[in-house]
A and B are shown apart, each in its own frame.
Chain A
Amino acid sequence: MESKRLKRREKRRDFARSLCFLSPSLLGVGVFFILPFCVVVYYSLIDGVGSRNFVFLDNFINLFQNYSFKLAAKNTLYFSVLAVPLAVVLALVLALMLEARIPLKSQFRTFFLSPMMVPVASVVLIWQVLFSNSGTVNEFLLLFGHDKIDWLQSDYAVYVVVLLFLWKNLGYNMILFMAGLSNIPKELLEVADVEGASEWYKFFAIKLRYLSPTVLFVTILSLINSFKIFREIYLLTDDYPAALYMLQHFMNNTFRSLDYQKLSAAAVIMALVMVVLILLLFAIEDWFGKDVEG
């Protein structure tokens, strides 16, 4: 009995000590993340900073009826649905190719990793030179008798930005997959070889299962990076790029026009969507990788 009490006391002391160490981080996260988020939620539920009348979900209802928000949400969803799977799949393919010991492997790896080192402004400059109305790509098209395409102002703009996104992020994703691949127990693969399993079977039954946490991580990372593409789009275009008008454009512009209620409501919706998506991804990963050791 006494020893149980002592153990409990020791546990409480340990917990208190841990809290002391954690408190600066907890305080920082609380002050700079949780508290502002609570303020944002509060702003989304009132009608203005002047009167501060509680309007419940009116701001959200108005938002769902707003053309600009709907366009931004649609564009963001379309871009993410297009770019994120491509970023994951292509990165996995590249990682598998590197694992297969292709010639010039080192150069191949450097080629895909180097975009990570290039500053955003330089990337944007290059893309502008290539895809502006009088850019290099259009010059090529003209050479072959094709009309110019306004790449950045037309419906093709999303594909240009997907290309930019993949170019920028494939390298890092590839490295993550390579690390994941190297952690797969070689004995399992050898046993599969001995038992005459095909490459496809080995990939889907063994490698992919072991890679499921990595796939989850890369997917989440790519999803987050897909929102950050706003930076490149803003530099390539302007405040109102019709085909590339994303949720962050909407929030940036509403912030500038002091419409904090719209901005806060959009931010809350975006946060909820992200939470649901990530929970879904975790659930899929849990189910898919349940047979994997550890």
Chain B
Amino acid sequence: MKKKMRSLLVLALAVILVLSLCACGEKTQEGPEKNDKPEETPEMVYTYESKTLDSKLIKDGIYPLVFSEQGFYGQTYEQVEPVTTTADQGEAEQEGETRSDEEAPESETEDVEIDRSDNYVQKLYFVGYDGSVRPLSAYTMQESPENTDNKLEYYSGATINSLLIDKDGGLIAIESTYEGWFDGTEAELNRDTPDTWDKYKSSQDYYLCRLNEDGSEKSCVKLDYQSRDSWLNFSACQFTDDGLLLVAGGEGIFGFAEDGSLALQINSSDISPDQLLKLRDGSFAVMGYTDTGLAFFPIDLEKKTLGQPMEIPSEAYEPLPGDEKYDLYYVNGMYLYGYRIEDQQKEKVLNWLDVDINGSNLSRIHFLEDGSLMCVLNQYRSEQVTTELVRVFQAPYDSVPHKETLTLAVMYGYELYDKVVDFNRHSDKVRIEIVDYSEFNDPENDDFDAGRTKLLTEIMSGQVPDLIAVSQLPYRQLASKGLLEDLYPYIDADKELSREDYFPNVLKALEVNGGLYQVITGFNVQTLIGASSVVGDKPGWTYQDMKDALAKMPAGCEPMDMYTTRGDLLRILLCTDLDHYVDWSTGQCSFESQDFLDLLAFTAQFPAEIPDDLEWESSSTRIAEGRQMLTTAYLYSVDSMLWNDVQFGEKGCTYIGYPTNNGVGSYMYLSSGYAMSANCRDKEAGWEFLRSFITYDSQKNSWDGIPLSTKVYQEKLEEAMTPQYEMNEKGEYVLDERGDKIPQPVGSIWMENGGEIEIYCMTQEQADKLWEAVTTCDKVWEDDEAIYSIVFEQAQAYYSGQKSAEEVARLIQSKVTIYVNEQR
């Protein structure tokens, strides 16, 4: 018996000791949800149905103001056509036209074309949930006040603040008129002292207007609210059961009766009241601020007081009414959250991407009586706006078609949402789920690398996401380890795409061991430009060439702009010339060469840091005065060259590049890159998604730098080279005295030493220069950060005079040689 007890005790002890080995881990930081195959399928899932509004009727998007069960009333801003009117010079100047004395009309009154193309008007529409659109064509807004007293600096206007539906279903518009002026003399205005600002006055009046179905006015009363510095937030006002209109503003809560009179006022300027919300029990609360953050304050209408604050999350600044499950809902980023005030718990109710909605395009959402969610989206794509109505609702799991899921790992992937949503809507078999690893970062502790580290750890442990945004990852190492899929075979097999469609130098720069492992949408090029008369006509030069050119400049002339530090320059020169110092195939380095010593000596003449009190001078001024020889050129679009060239004016310029020992010293920044895992679950679908970044249509609509597609590049170049001519309101060309068309500038730039300089379309010479600058660039900025760190750290001893250039070069040689051979 004793032995048995002893055995049992021994066994129990052993079990306890074993259990103590199990890690009682800390609660890990909340990160993005992953759609790993659930062990249990949910009973209900969210799904959606959508309708796109006719773009002929709603051209520039519509913002919903108030919802009903059949649809919503919303407003648009529509551009007014340019008109010709009779006006004098004074009015023309007031409208913003700038004319020189030569262009001034001969008489004070003359027909002057005033371009009102920057003017927009508000229009109202009713949009049914079935997609029907009905303009409230009879609607007219309040008249703007007029400057009857000839006040100085006068401006005025009128606007719709909100639309409401009362308990009888009647439509109400809350409008306001406003005016502002300078309440002083002209002499006081010209003095421009701090006291001057106190003399600027403004006022605002609000109107409650009942409208018919066609928008015509039934009745209109002015609200008894004296214009003050604070404003009223009618976008979140409420009707009480007895018809009182409750609204919050900067000073408190106000209640207006049907006749516009002020029936209720609760002062509460200390909490900065903003929005009103109707709570689940039918009472009202106002959103305001406490010392700790955002809160709701219950309103007691009888006692005219506010209750104790109920804290809500700081991101819930546009709350929606709650239901039996939550006190309120709100949207934050890509999620719809529900919040319970009592236990201060917020929960993610819905990820917009799960129902193929890009949350960034959401204008407003509204809960319908059946519990579904009506979402209004305005999507902006290449100068067009598409408005869509999406109804989100819950349906049984088995009734919804399920597709295979591919994960796409990103860091801050908001630029991808539209693409992913488009893909998911059009694909029958596969859907892409974004996993945003930036959510693992810990901003409170300044840790912005946690997400990247987690992603890398998962990749290296074999849990590679199907698709990856590789911009912040060591893309070349991942590719060389066989973790990424070579995309060249897919491009070669694609009927629409071909390698020849893209800049070969860029593809080459992206290659790893002859394979292409990421797609990008575009790239930027950085180089140096100088006057052709100084640096020559042909791009590319060495340090000696640069020294020779500098010797010809006036005494005291600096080679580059005043903000160039030695660290910046060292980084750039290493980037553009690294192949001269490092032979990756053999692992040999040549940092002890004279060329590198020259590079060190050259960079040493630049400052370590820019003083805070350095007075800014533009490069164009310094170049014009002969105090600066070169300036940095950023080629971020096809026409960006125009803004670079203008700095040299008639002299002309050459995109000479940074001094280098081979080729042209320029480098490229790549746009975001996307890759596919070598173990992607559906490589055909993965390629289908990746190719969408480099198709002709995608490249044409992308604004991510110079396009990768040479065809799109040529089209944009042709556009940039197409001259613009002045036209009249009838669409006819305006001719000068000789009968020639008058060229119009495509833009202008302000130069300190030359005033405003107009920029015209690109010439063939500029186009050729751009082509050469882009096609000769084969270095990528992101590479070889480790080598730069070694060189920069060791170079400090040389810059401070502690060591000679030879000693530093010897150290760099040994360190970089070790690094290079580690990578082989």
| B822 near A254: Cβ-Cβ < 8 Å | yes
Chain A 1-46 interface residues, beta-carbon cutoff 8 Å to B:
17, 20-21, 23-24, 27-28, 31
Chain A 252-294 interface residues, beta-carbon cutoff 8 Å to B:
253-254, 257-260, 262
Interface: A225 (CB within 8 A): no
| B460 near A27: Cβ-Cβ < 8 Å | no
| A240 near B819: Cβ-Cβ < 8 Å | yes
Interface: A66 (CB within 8 A): yes
Closest chain B residue to A70, Cβ basis: B821
| B822 near A50: Cβ-Cβ < 8 Å | no
Bound-complex Cα distance A241 to B7 (A): 58
Known contacts A17-B10, A24-B18, A258-B478: does B483 contact A48 (CB below 8 Å)? yes
A-B contact count (CB 8 A): 96
In the complex, how many angstroms separate the beta carbon of B20 from the nearest chain A beta carbon?
Answer: 8
| B481 near A258: Cβ-Cβ < 8 Å | yes
Interface: A139 (CB within 8 A): no
Bound-complex Cα distance A51 to B486 (A): 13
Contact partner of A258 among B474, B678, B790, B824, CB < 8 A? B474
In the complex, how many angstroms separate the beta carbon of A67 from the nearest chain B beta carbon?
Answer: 4
Bound-complex Cα distance A86 to B816 (A): 32
| B821 near A68: Cβ-Cβ < 8 Å | yes
Residues of B within 8 A of A50 (CB): 462, 464, 481-484, 677-679
Closest chain B residue to A258, Cβ basis: B477
Contact partner of B818 among A20, A47, A240, CB < 8 A? A240
Residues of A within 8 A of B807 (CB): 150
Q: Render B1-29 as a binary contact track against A, CB cut-off 8 A, 1 for contact.
A: 00000010011011001101100000000
| A21 near B10: Cβ-Cβ < 8 Å | yes
Closest chain B residue to A255, Cβ basis: B460
| A257 near B481: Cβ-Cβ < 8 Å | no
| B811 near A24: Cβ-Cβ < 8 Å | no
Interface: B817 (CB within 8 A): yes
In the complex, how many angstroms separate the beta carbon of B626 from the nearest chain A beta carbon?
Answer: 41
Interface: B461 (CB within 8 A): yes
In the complex, how many angstroms separate the beta carbon of B453 from the nearest chain A beta carbon?
Answer: 11
In the complex, how many angstroms separate the beta carbon of B468 from the nearest chain A beta carbon?
Answer: 12
Q: Render A104-118 as a binary contact track against B, CB cut-off 8 A, 1 for contact.
A: 000000000000000
Interface: B815 (CB within 8 A): yes
Chain A 205-227 interface residues, beta-carbon cutoff 8 Å to B:
none
Bound-complex Cα distance A240 to B462 (A): 29
Bound-complex Cα distance A17 to B807 (A): 67
| A66 near B482: Cβ-Cβ < 8 Å | no
| A49 near B481: Cβ-Cβ < 8 Å | yes
| A253 near B18: Cβ-Cβ < 8 Å | no
| A242 near B802: Cβ-Cβ < 8 Å | no
Closest chain A residue to B819, Cβ basis: A240
| A24 near B482: Cβ-Cβ < 8 Å | no
Residues of A within 8 A of B814 (CB): 240, 242
Interface: A182 (CB within 8 A): no
Chain A 222-244 interface residues, beta-carbon cutoff 8 Å to B:
238-242
| B482 near A20: Cβ-Cβ < 8 Å | no
Interface: B94 (CB within 8 A): no
Interface: B382 (CB within 8 A): no
| B481 near A133: Cβ-Cβ < 8 Å | no
Question: Which residue numbers of B lie inside 8 Å of A, CB to CB?
Answer: 7, 10-11, 13-14, 17-18, 20-21, 456, 460-462, 464, 474, 477-478, 481-484, 587, 677-679, 790, 793, 797, 802-803, 807, 811, 814-819, 821-824
> What are 16 A-B contacts with C-beta separation under 8 Å?
A20-B11, A20-B14, A23-B17, A27-B18, A47-B482, A49-B461, A49-B462, A50-B483, A67-B587, A133-B797, A134-B802, A153-B811, A240-B790, A253-B822, A257-B477, A260-B460
